[in-house]
Structure 1
Amino acid sequence: MRSFDDSHGRHWQAALLEASYGNVMLVLSPMDGTEVVQHLLGSDNLADAEGELAALDDAALAALLAEAQPWDHEAGVERAKALYGAGAKLAAPTHSFNQRKKP
């Protein structure tokens, strides 16, 4: 996870998400808000993406932020379909990472 400031002085966090079908997403969220945006990385795996993220400076992160799209489960689904065909078994989106399972 990395923190950085955009060109407007807004403080952001950038984290990597290893998604289904080999996708690695850069997930960005402002420290003072609730919106979440994503940028699909071209990394082959999470380890490569971690190295790439560590090498980025604030300007490069701000450039990725400018290209980012609102959080969208379908982005990963579309890449999976492109890679594995329309018959790939795709999971439903998770609605909350914070919900605990009831015993």
Structure 2
Amino acid sequence: MAESAAITAEQVRHLAELARIAMTSEELERTAGELEEILSHVARVSEVATDDVPATSHPIALTNVLREDVVGTTLTAEQALAGAPASDEGKFLVPQILGEE
């Protein structure tokens, strides 16, 4: 495994400032260590990801378990609007919420 330079608390502080995240010095040190561990795991996975290993998004093949769409009976516009508190020209009327004309 190729070793990379350790992630420093100063680098984490810089990223935290860019993201506008306030972090204590203890949080910076802990996060630097956690990021270093994450990167080492990624490097280990990269070692085994060779050309003969196909890229996958899931370790187990997934299949669609949903039923096929079947067109059934639907309401007419008049039936749908029959239960509406208010309608106009075949459309539902709803309260205005943005104060626009």
Higher relative contact order (CA 8 A, sep 6+): 1
| Structure in which a larger fraction of residues adopt helix | 2
| Structure in which a larger fraction of residues adopt strand | 1
Q: TM-score surpassing 0.5?
A: no
- Name which one, 1 or 2, has greater alpha-carbon Rg: 2
Structure-1-length-normalised TM-score: 0.22
